[in-house]
Structure 1
Amino acid sequence: MASFEDYLIFFTAVNKQIILDEDNGELQIKTIYKPILQKVYDNILKATIIFLPHCEIAILQVFSAEPLLAKMLINDCYVPPTSSGFNYTNTVLGAIFAISGLPKIPGGIFEYFQKPMEELSGQLESNIWNGMENLHVQLHKIFLHLLKAGPEVKHKTLSWLGSCLEKNAGRCKLWNNEMSMLGFISDGFAINLSAVLLRLCQPFISNTDNPKLLKIDPTYCAVQIHNDEDSRERGVHLLKLNDSTMLLPVDDDSRENNKSLDKRPVAKGQFNFITECFYMTQKSLEIGFAQVQEKMTSINQELAIMQQTFVEAQQSGSATSEVMKHINDRMEGEMTKYLSMKAALLEPSTLYLLSQFQKATCVWLTQVVLDVNKDFQSSDLQSYCPNKFNVIEFPLPNIVPLTLKCIPEFILENIWRYLTLVRRFHSRSLEEPGFTLVSELLNTVLIFMTSNSRVRNPHLRARLAECLDCLLPHTDEDSSVTNSIGSYYREMLFLKHPHRKQIVYALLDVFVGIEMTGQSVEFEQKFNYRRPMYVVMDYLWKLEEHREVFKSLAKDAENNMEAASPPLFLRFINLLMNDAVFLLDEALTNMARLRQMQTAHESGQWANLSQRERAQNMSHLQNIGMTARFDNILGKETINTFKYLTSEIKSIFCHPTMVDRVAAMLNYFLCHLVGPKKKNFKVKDMKEYKFEPAEIVLNICMIYVHLGESENGEAFCLAVSKDGRSYNPQLFKQAEDVLARIGGASLIVGITNLSQKVSKLAIQQSNDEELLLTEAPENYLDPIMSTLMTDPVILPSSKINVDRSTIARHLLSDQTDPFNRSHLTMDMVITNTELKNQIDEWIRIKKCQK
């Protein structure tokens, strides 16, 4: 049988002879070979991922390798600029890309995994993977031949790839759905396109020290291309990337006001193929992998709801067989989609290349950040590629390269999506490459998390914090035992990585940054961002070296309580307290509402309602239950964080700025959970709602003991006694009774001792308050808290006197004067020594009179 080379030699010779013999040789070649291409296209349309069109692909490989036929092939695939993205599927190359285990058109039929509840999916998945790998290898050969077929064919091939990506960028829009996706290529096409581009990247992503990586120019996406000739001369075939959201915004809104005023650096020279291939691959991942991954997540959530509905319908016994069959059919349909998408995303050879690509991306991003010695204001630089591999050192350079204004956010988002994908479905792909991959990932996460000077978007920085959670040692999802090698690499990441001591600071900075951006971050979204951060903090606290960083930050905060900018750890615990109060309060409110609705349902009150009203009530009950579950999970996490922090960090929680709030929070929740109101939160299936009051009580009592037994314990006990809202003499006795029932006997002695201290101080405090507050002159009272000031300060703008601890607490969340909203920081307040002396003398006289 003739080889590929034999066919190539034969067709090359034939075409040369046609050119020699005919006046219009190229037209004759087109006339001869056009029917062949049409037949190839028709046959490809009938192919499947299991039964690939091997003969047709072989013909296209010959076409792509012979210069005249390659030109004809790429010309035949031309798609007019006014066409939709889907029209790329109607070309012979596009038709091959569309071969997949997923539907060829949005909303089409999923051909595989039709009986997901009955058949074993492993063998089918393996067959699909074999087909995908074979297809990708053959497509890669075709495009490699086209790119080597001469300058004109290379230009047209890159234009085809770039235009396909640009015309299908709408797949990334938030509004996409099955109907709106009809104008774009299919999910399978997009994933196959990524796989081929990843293979084209292989020469420069194989090693982290590959000098070819430094040939990627960071200013590619800032270029504005006006026509085809411009595209050819500049080496830019992926258009409109200059409109992307960049890591750092363009100065003075110039992009919106006047594009000619765009102050971003742009290389003057021609961009190389490595740069183009890199950015095309990044864009393909955004329109392909990212969208399918998002759909999978959505389907997974829908399946969980359907499963719950199915179980509830079974248990109630009221659902008809038709209803049960309908639910089951829907579950099967969604599971078919889920398994098909999972197979498409996790093809092993592509996943391996994706790991290599993301590792290379991390190395390149790091070098761009460290490349600070260029003249970024120059308009004559031929290239902005990093000159050499620089060593990472923290703190990072104060200079932030302006090239970050040219790099789209989706490049970092692709790293985040990759980590969330492999963590959930294929953790081995993160571990098998060895320590280098996870090490480079951590470098990049730390560099861009540590400050908003390199990434302005708080949502993106929060996603980088989620990347830390993905890098924690986890049990291998594919077995019941821990993957020892993978766990070893992940553990070493937090024990031996050269920049591991930056992790705690970076994590807390992002935690605070979500709240302090001045941008709108929805409550639920904010807590979703913080949820993985609690997991990472919990892990870090158990490692002595990282625990010492927490303690060092706390000590620094205590030493700088009145700094112009509140210290990081102080802002962190202030927000942690805000979260705890909000979440636990919401959780208890919703648990009480659940109890009321369950009681009404069980007592027969719903029986008198119409079917529509009963359905509405049931839907309302489910929504409240979901909200309560969410609040319970995160509320428990915040209290748990307080528990372990206060085990070794105590004095800052007892500082005058914080202690009253800490005491009031603990009293409020303990009162609700051990007092007479505790029965209001008892519902059916408490585990379903993740409501674990016993654990919360244990943790709260531990916090009481931690702070009550500290060096500053008296200040804490005094604050507990002063809380008139929730504290009463029976509170700790009620807590002791509950502790005895829930396995907290070891805490009873500590709580008893605390109770005695608090009772003694409460009596003393009551006498003092009665004496002082009833007779205190109004100008001695804090205008915000209505308490006697002990350390009055003057606010420079409004000239009003307030207690130092009161204004310090206010400025943690809002750096303005509360009386006129002018800017205010702690270093601006003026100590009112004269008023303090007057108050102290007045107190002394009153106590003597008593």
Structure 2
Amino acid sequence: MDETTKREEPLPVQSKHSTPQSQLSPWCTSLFGDVFGVTLNVDDTSKRFLESTFTELVEEGLDPQFEESHADRIIIEYLTEVGNTNPFKWLRDCWVKVQQYKRTLKAKDPLRDEKLQVLEEIDRLTSNYGLVAFQIEDMFINGNIDTYLKDVIANDSLYSDFIIQILYHAHEEGTLLEFLNVFVVELAKEVSKIDFRDSHYQLVLNVFQLILSQKPVAAVFTQIDNFHAKEEVKPHRIETTTLLGPLFRLSPLQSTVSIALFDENTNSSSRKVKSVGESLQAEHKVLLERLFFITDKIIRGSEQSRNDLLKYFATIVNKNHLRRGDHADFSKLASNAFMTNISMVLIRLSLPFLDSSLTKLDKIDPNYFQNTHCLIDISEETRANATNAEANEYFEAHKIDKKPNFISDCFYLTLTYLQYGLGGLYISESKLDKLIKHLKSTVENLNRPISDPSNRLQMIQRMQLPALQKKLEQAKSEKNALTSFFIHRNLQLEIFDFIAGSSAFLVRTVEPTHLYPKTKLRLPFVPDVIGVENVDNSEHFREQAPVPYKYFPEFCVEGVINFVLSSCKFVANPMIRNSRLPSLMEFMLVFLRCPELIGNPHLKGRLVEVLSIGTYPMTDGTPGFMQDIIDTDPLLTDNLLYALLDFYVVVEKTGSSSQFYDKFNSRFHISCILEQIWKNSVYKRQLIHQSEHNEEFFIRFVARMLNDLTFLLDESLRQLQDVHAVQNELELRKQGGSNMDGTNEDLESRLSSAENQARADIQLANRTLDLFDMFTGEVPKAFIKPEIVGRLASMLDYNLEALVGPKCTELKVREPEKYKFNPKDLLLKICKVFVNLSSESDFTKAVANDSRSFKRALFNRAEDIIRRWGLSNEDFIKCLVTFADKAEETRIADEAEEQDLGEIPDEYLDPLMYTLMEDPVILPGSKVNIDRATIRSHLLSDSTDPFNRMPLKYEDVIPNDDLKQEILDWKRGKKANKSTDVNMTDA
């Protein structure tokens, strides 16, 4: 370094004191020798000789010994001429020795004040030059910020007091931000070089926590260079280009970490994988506590630092809404590690105002999204139960221009991260499951012997095997890391505390008085619509949705639902034995019971799936973790059954192109719930009440059950026939024969598809049959309404024939248990419905009138099977036989009556069923005459005129009393003629 460089700004720190040689000289000589390690005695080789100072003193005719005024000169000469491998460390060591001297000064020392003044001056100079060391890197010999920082990180406990002193002086002099722009930026770079496996990150975090424990630092921290994400930065680059990014991406969920630590090549046993997971869980929890400490200090630093940090978090999540997309490309989005850590920190920030007392819910502003200072971009978000245009119009008319309080900002930001931060984990898990399944299948196929060595394509594919195996192991490792997070019960409990508080807030927002939980809920909020044509009228309910909730982004509700659905599938389920579970249960009930609250039926579908899991018995045989609340909470016992039955009906229309199949999953889960709550007599009484006092609604419910069962049984048996046929064909080909077209690969694919579909359909059909068994036994009269009894009878007859008729052998498949197919059990369930309804004459008549499938011999065959296999007792068999006999007698009598009537005029025939009309009505649009029971049955599934597809309501049909009387007269005439003919024959 030349002389010019040494004289550049900033100038060396000037001493505040300049005193002549005094009685302190001997003490100063000793002090400076100990503190600075320097001497003016050329013969003293134990210390560094200061040649410049010595020469200067001699030229001035002074004794070559140190005075208190020499401190500044000593530091400058040492740092710029003598040199040290680490100037910053030397300054720290000097400062520490000064502190030791301060502690040893005796109170009775007559020169104590003068000595203390010298020590304070050295204290000030060393810390100020320490500040200069980070401002001008080449100010001192061997000056190197990277060297300084690495030593600070490695020995943070030794540097902590010195660093704090530097921060104090920087703040006092107004250069704090200038210092931090070097120190902290370089510190963050150290983290960006490592991942969670490298314990070095813990040392770096020590330094971050140290400096942020000083409020002046926290107050300006967000003003440091690179704190904010630039507007043009890509979502996946934020965690590497911003100041806090490298800290918040440290996690067991980092792909480099999961692949290295969960690699099944080195951790082959499940015990090892579990051990690795538990170790990472413990370390992750500590990391999150430290990240929270850092965040909390910035939040409390100043109003600007608080607002800036929340804005930073908001920018991240606003750029990552695609993380919940079905086709999300995670390579272009923020990582799971980064988003999860921020989510967990925000949850911890939110918990104080969402505690179990729920006394601070009124601090959260329900009008937040119409505030111009709202942090979250919801411009493209689906709304709870409104269109975006409606929401924008409302927000524009009710705009608020006032900075929200911290609680509101924090709460809604956390809700957003619940959806796009933690919510992205569920998407990742699903993608990994599919990828692992696909890779396993591919690897297995490639490991099979090559059928044709000359096939070049097969050889090329085989060469890809090592790469595919490596990719499979990596996918498994990443899946293990995700599972480790999902089963980390302590973290899941924290999330659930937020879920419980959020649930209570959402209920408070939609409840008309907005006083919940101080007041008890009264459901429904909007009176039920009684009437077949309105029960699933989404437009009607959208108009009734509460404001401003209806304009909320849908993710406010979806994030809560997604979490509970995901977490309840794991052993660390935070809802088990949790005192805050009732808050969630009330939320679930409210959003199931009140159709005006959710416009998306898929969300309700996830709610019933959670309830299904929550009511399913535990592995030890005890009731499900939600069962006790369902059985004892008055709000649930009064409303749950209706909510389930209502959704069973409404889910017929999901609005998607796959709505026909979507409904089956939801109805399966509803069936599971009903099976469990059926053990409670309260729900049985409610079912009877609904069937008697809400007939229109209950008929619709039964009709939907019947539609499902008809389709599922038909499809499952058809798929089993296909399985049977393909299995036989494959066996035949092994023997050299063939009856079908297509290659073996084609048949294997067809067999797999049929097996999967059969398994799903049979499981759903069994559940629906269980419902029929339960309900027909309790409220048989509800199943003999004219609109449904004929279809029910035909369905039962048809499936009885399929199970015991001539073609039943086509249902024989290998390993029937693989498809959940138990033909004897299925037969018994169908026969139970026959028996449950056997005392109803209308049902007996409907069975007898089924000319296509009813055959008395089928019941004889069913009787033999039930008795031979001991499926039921003799009383049951006797009841079944008696019913079959009555149905056969009715069939014979009806056939005789039909012969008596002869040919029926076309105008008396129902245009859809081609049977004699009993109560004809006129359709107002098409003007067609049709039987009342027929059109009512049609409207249960389709609210249009079957002849012109125009909208039609049941109450709009017009009774055709004239035609009805005409038909009655015709029948009487036919009977009278028959009677006359009989009398004449007898005569």
Give TM-score scaled by structure 1 length.
0.86
Q: Distance in 1 between matches of 2:550 and 2:364?
A: 15
Aligned to 1:564: none
Residues 762, 627 of structure 1: alpha-carbon distance in 2 compared, 3 angstrom cutoff: same
Say if 2:332 is the partner of 1:172. no
Q: 2:506 aligns with which of 359, 365, 369?
A: 365
Would the aligned equivalents of 2:384 and 2:553 in 1 still touch at CA under 8 Å? Answer: yes
Aligned to 2:982: none
Say if 2:623 is the partner of 1:494. no
Say if 2:480 is the partner of 1:339. yes
Aligned to 1:598: 727
Aligned to 2:228: 78
Residues 628, 738 of structure 1: alpha-carbon distance in 2 compared, 3 angstrom cutoff: same
Compute the displacement of 1:608 (Å): 8.8
Q: What are the residue-to-residue correspondences of 1:416-815 with 2, within 5 Å?
A: 416-426=561-571, 428-434=573-579, 437-472=580-615, 474-476=617-619, 481-482=620-621, 487=625, 490-516=627-653, 520-558=657-695, 567-604=696-733, 613-709=743-839, 713-746=840-873, 747-772=876-901, 774-815=902-943
Compute the displacement of 1:132 (Å): 0.7
Q: 1:134 aligns with which of 273, 278, 286?
A: 286
Counting matched residue pairs gives 794
Q: Distance in 1 between matches of 2:601 and 2:511?
A: 22
Q: What are the residue-to-residue correspondences of 1:371-450 with 2, within 5 Å?
A: 371-372=512-513, 389-396=518-525, 400-426=545-571, 428-434=573-579, 437-450=580-593
Q: Distance in 2 between matches of 1:277 and 1:420?
A: 24
Residues 81, 263 of structure 1: alpha-carbon distance in 2 compared, 3 angstrom cutoff: closer
- Which region of structure 1 is more displaced relative to structure 2, 749-758 or 548-557? 548-557
Q: Secondary structure at the match of 2:921?
A: strand
Give TM-score scaled by structure 2 length.
0.75
Q: What are the residue-to-residue correspondences of 1:84-233 with 2, within 5 Å?
A: 84-90=234-240, 91-104=242-255, 109=259, 111-115=261-265, 117-120=268-271, 121-176=273-328, 180-210=329-359, 212-224=360-372
Compute the displacement of 1:601 (Å): 0.6
Would the aligned equivalents of 1:198 and 1:354 in 2 still touch at CA under 8 Å? Answer: yes
Q: Distance in 1 between matches of 2:835 and 2:585?
A: 37
Q: Distance in 2 between matches of 1:546 and 1:223?
A: 45
Say if 2:418 is the partner of 1:285. yes
Q: Distance in 2 between matches of 1:98 and 1:601?
A: 53
Would the aligned equivalents of 1:48 and 1:100 in 2 still touch at CA under 8 Å? Answer: yes
Compute the displacement of 1:308 (Å): 8.8
User: What whole-Å deviation, never above 9, does each CA across 1:236-294 have from its counterpart, x for those lacking one?
Assistant: 3x33124321211148x346xxx567567554432111111111212212223222223
Compute the displacement of 1:68 (Å): 4.9
- Which region of structure 1 is more displaced relative to structure 2, 657-666 or 363-372? 363-372
Q: Distance in 2 between matches of 1:132 and 1:655?
A: 61
Q: Secondary structure at the match of 2:949?
A: coil
Would the aligned equivalents of 1:658 and 1:809 in 2 still touch at CA under 8 Å? Answer: yes
Q: Distance in 1 between matches of 2:229 and 2:250?
A: 19
Residues 439, 11 of structure 1: alpha-carbon distance in 2 compared, 3 angstrom cutoff: same
Q: Distance in 2 between matches of 1:52 and 1:281?
A: 30
Q: Which ranges of structure 2 fall in alignment gaps of 5 or more residues?
A: 1-95, 100-154, 454-461, 528-543, 979-987
Amino acid at match of 1:823: P
Residues 370, 681 of structure 1: alpha-carbon distance in 2 compared, 3 angstrom cutoff: same
Identical residues among aligned pairs (%): 26
Q: Which ranges of structure 1 fall in alignment gaps of 5 or more residues?
A: 225-233, 374-385, 559-566
Compute the displacement of 1:26 (Å): 4.8
Q: Secondary structure at the match of 2:930?
A: strand
Residues 73, 658 of structure 1: alpha-carbon distance in 2 compared, 3 angstrom cutoff: closer
CA RMSD of aligned residues (A): 3.5
Q: Distance in 2 between matches of 1:602 and 1:112?
A: 43
Residues 760, 504 of structure 1: alpha-carbon distance in 2 compared, 3 angstrom cutoff: same
Compute the displacement of 1:505 (Å): 0.6
For CA contacts below 8 A with separation 6 or more, give which structure has more relative contact order: 1
Q: 1:276 aligns with which of 389, 406, 409?
A: 409
Would the aligned equivalents of 2:324 and 2:424 in 1 still touch at CA under 8 Å? Answer: yes
Would the aligned equivalents of 1:172 and 1:287 in 2 still touch at CA under 8 Å? Answer: yes
Amino acid at match of 1:186: S
Aligned to 1:562: none
Q: Distance in 1 between matches of 2:869 and 2:434?
A: 34
Would the aligned equivalents of 1:246 and 1:404 in 2 still touch at CA under 8 Å? Answer: no
- Which region of structure 1 is more displaced relative to structure 2, 131-140 or 526-535? 526-535
Amino acid at match of 1:293: Y
Q: Distance in 2 between matches of 1:50 and 1:285?
A: 29
Would the aligned equivalents of 1:191 and 1:344 in 2 still touch at CA under 8 Å? Answer: no
Q: Distance in 1 between matches of 2:742 and 2:803?
A: 36
Aligned to 2:182: 34
Q: Distance in 2 between matches of 1:88 and 1:17?
A: 33
Say if 2:209 is the partner of 1:58. no
Q: Distance in 2 between matches of 1:817 and 1:28?
A: 78
Compute the displacement of 1:7 (Å): 7.7
Amino acid at match of 2:841: E
Amino acid at match of 1:601: L
Residues 837, 280 of structure 1: alpha-carbon distance in 2 compared, 3 angstrom cutoff: same
Aligned to 1:842: 970
Would the aligned equivalents of 1:370 and 1:390 in 2 still touch at CA under 8 Å? Answer: no
User: What whole-Å deviation, never above 9, does each CA across 1:407-439 have from its counterpart, x for those lacking one?
Assistant: 2222222222222233211355212332xx221
Q: Distance in 2 between matches of 1:647 and 1:299?
A: 45
Would the aligned equivalents of 2:222 and 2:308 in 1 still touch at CA under 8 Å? Answer: no
Q: Secondary structure at the match of 2:575?
A: helix
Q: Distance in 2 between matches of 1:29 and 1:308?
A: 57
Would the aligned equivalents of 1:594 and 1:625 in 2 still touch at CA under 8 Å? Answer: yes
Compute the displacement of 1:598 (Å): 0.8
Bigger Cα Rg: 2
Q: Distance in 2 between matches of 1:673 and 1:263?
A: 63
Aligned to 1:561: none
Would the aligned equivalents of 2:486 and 2:570 in 1 still touch at CA under 8 Å? Answer: no
Amino acid at match of 1:452: P
Would the aligned equivalents of 1:673 and 1:697 in 2 still touch at CA under 8 Å? Answer: yes
Would the aligned equivalents of 1:606 and 1:614 in 2 still touch at CA under 8 Å? Answer: no
Aligned to 1:563: none
Would the aligned equivalents of 1:394 and 1:499 in 2 still touch at CA under 8 Å? Answer: no
Q: Distance in 1 between matches of 2:812 and 2:442?
A: 23
Would the aligned equivalents of 1:264 and 1:405 in 2 still touch at CA under 8 Å? Answer: no
Aligned to 2:115: none
Q: Distance in 2 between matches of 1:267 and 1:762?
A: 74
Q: Distance in 1 between matches of 2:845 and 2:879?
A: 16
Q: Distance in 1 between matches of 2:681 and 2:380?
A: 46
- Which region of structure 1 is more displaced relative to structure 2, 309-318 or 201-210? 309-318
Q: Distance in 2 between matches of 1:87 and 1:310?
A: 34
Residues 50, 81 of structure 1: alpha-carbon distance in 2 compared, 3 angstrom cutoff: same
Q: Distance in 2 between matches of 1:264 and 1:470?
A: 43
Would the aligned equivalents of 1:793 and 1:829 in 2 still touch at CA under 8 Å? Answer: yes
Would the aligned equivalents of 1:89 and 1:185 in 2 still touch at CA under 8 Å? Answer: yes
Compute the displacement of 1:307 (Å): 7.7
Would the aligned equivalents of 1:423 and 1:470 in 2 still touch at CA under 8 Å? Answer: yes
